[in-house]
Amino acid sequence: VTRPLDATGAEPSPSGHALVATLAATGAPGTDAPVPPRPLDDARWSRFLRQVEGERLEPLLAHAASTGAWPVTDVQLAEALARGRRALALVLELERELIAVHDDLRAEGIPMRVLKGPAIARLDEEDPSCRAFGDIDVLVRPRDVRRAVAVVQARGGTRRYATRSAAYDRYVGKGVSFRFERNVEVDLHRTIAPGPFGIAVDLDELFARSQPVPVGPVTIQALDRPGRFLHACYHAALGRARPRRSAQRDIVLTAPLGDRDLDEVVARARRWRGELVVASAVTSVVDDLCWQPPGALASWVAEPRTRPASPRERRWLEAYRSDERSSRRLTLLGAGVGGGAARARYLVGLATGWPGARREVSGGRRRRSGTRG
Amino acid sequence: MRWRRRPDTLFRRVPDGVLVISLRGGGPLWLPAPGADVWDRLAAATTVDELVDALADELGTAGEAPSDLVRTGCLALLDELRAHGLVEEVEA
């Protein structure tokens, strides 16, 4: 195909967002979004490229363009390949830091789980080169947060946000973000979401179920597949106002395939009070990526009576989705989760880390939450 | 002597070659074909003669490259990869 798609409206053409969603669905099971019939014209291509970069889909575009799954001109193919290489060059630098952090944590006796990008790329993508990521996300147990922070700082990591208190890091915050040289960022996670849904996660259970993932010469533990799916849902539904398409693709790639897999996912989500989160995330991917989930999951999502949500959980979800969403409000809502000693610890963390707006330690743009996806 | 990839490396295949990086430092290196073919063959310890024969066979069938040119290219690439800490020589 060599003739660019006419931008003057010779035939209906999808919006830029729809095009990016189509790209995000490329090669993912159960998706059926229509690919453009021929290459985009120059103006639309330029906009499309910017959006692709924002969604971290450059390597997927390079792969799709080079295999003929996405129509491009010769010039566009060269641009797509160059962007894909640039994104994957950063991926390699990030994975190198991942290995170093893993080795240093292990030397201190601190177990960890690698989250999202590196795990999804190597365990769930058919070709690891299709998945880009912009930082490294590592989960550590709450009791290890303080020591893990020291390990990452000893490696030269600089906290993106000033410390509130050690108790805040251990009992309240989602995690701690670090910046290294060469555009490398590492997020140490205590849990997988900010606010009440993150507090309600059984972190011992999340941590206990793991799957090994080889990264170069080392083997690192990731979450097991149900854990990866749940995390992908939490990330998509509770993170940015509009989730990245790459995050939605993660949901497709890790979705439970049969009744037994779904039962495990639902059981965990129920214990974590997160069924509403999972259903919301899956529904958004069905709408945005034209995804037909595996039968059991589709049936579960389509039948709300099988997953009753309390009014409190509905209020929580509204707080994440609200235009007035704030990390302060989500943190306060977290104080209403659980009881006994756990709640007391949370309140201590809150008291020692409150008030005080989170500020950048050194330069960079301000962000809504302490870690990024 | 044989050449092989160092174990402390990472790589990603891309549609037009392979990206490689050393865990010991330095930036990523892009190897377009036929450099990517050399990288693939260095998964196992390989002599320069074996590399040259294999690549000359692939390229020579298209009449594009005589084997002395392939040898020169192979040696230059191995030197560069070694300078970046990506390959090493081992006893035969």
- Give the helix/strand (H/E) hosting A87: helix A74-107
What pLDDT is recorded for position A336? 74
Chain B residues within 8 A (CB-CB) of chain A?
A: 7-16, 19-21, 23, 27-28, 30
CA A255/CA A373 separation, integer angstroms: 19
| Residue A90: closest C-alpha in chain B | B28
Higher pLDDT, A370 or A217: A217
A241 pLDDT higher than 80: no
What pLDDT is recorded for position A372? 42
DSSP string across A224-282: -HHHHHHHHHHHHHHSSSS--HHHHHHHHHH---SHHHHHHHHHHHHHTT-HHHHHHHH
As a three-state string, the secondary structure of A57-81 is CHHHHHHHHHHCCCCCCHHHHHHHH
CA A238/CA A320 separation, integer angstroms: 6
A20 pLDDT higher than 80: yes
A48 contacts A61 by C-beta, under 8 angstroms = no
Q: What is the pLDDT of residues A299-315, one digit of tens each?
A: 999 887 777 778 888 98
Q: Which residues lie closer than 8 Å to A88 by C-beta, 6 or more apart?
A: A59, A129, A132, B12, B14, B19, B28
A178 contacts A157 by C-beta, under 8 angstroms = yes
A10 pLDDT higher than 50: no
The torsion angle over the Cα atoms of residues A190, A194, A196 and A197, rounded to 10 degrees, is: -80
- How far CA A99 is from CA of A124, A141, A176, in Å, comes to 20, 18, 18
| Residue A59: closest C-alpha in chain B | B14
Which residues on adjacent β-strands are paired with residue A179? A158, A185
Give me the mean pLDDT over the A224-236 stretch: 97
How many residues does the structure list for chain B? 92
- Binned at pLDDT 50, 70 and 90, residue A161 comes out as confident
Burial of A285 by CB count in 10 Å (0-12 exposed, 13-18 middle, 19+ buried)? buried
**Disruptive mutation site among A60, A79, A92, A126 for chain B (greatest number of B CBs within 10 Å):** A92
Chain A nearest C-alpha distance from B6 (Å): 10
- Give the helix/strand (H/E) hosting A353: none
> Of the candidates B8, B23, B28, which has its C-beta nearest A89's C-beta?
B28
Q: Give the count of Cβ contacts less than 8 A between chain A and B.
A: 57
Q: Could you tell me the strand order of the sheet in which B17-22 lies? A: B9-14, B17-22, B29-31
What pLDDT is recorded for position A373? 38
| Residue B12: closest C-alpha in chain A | A129
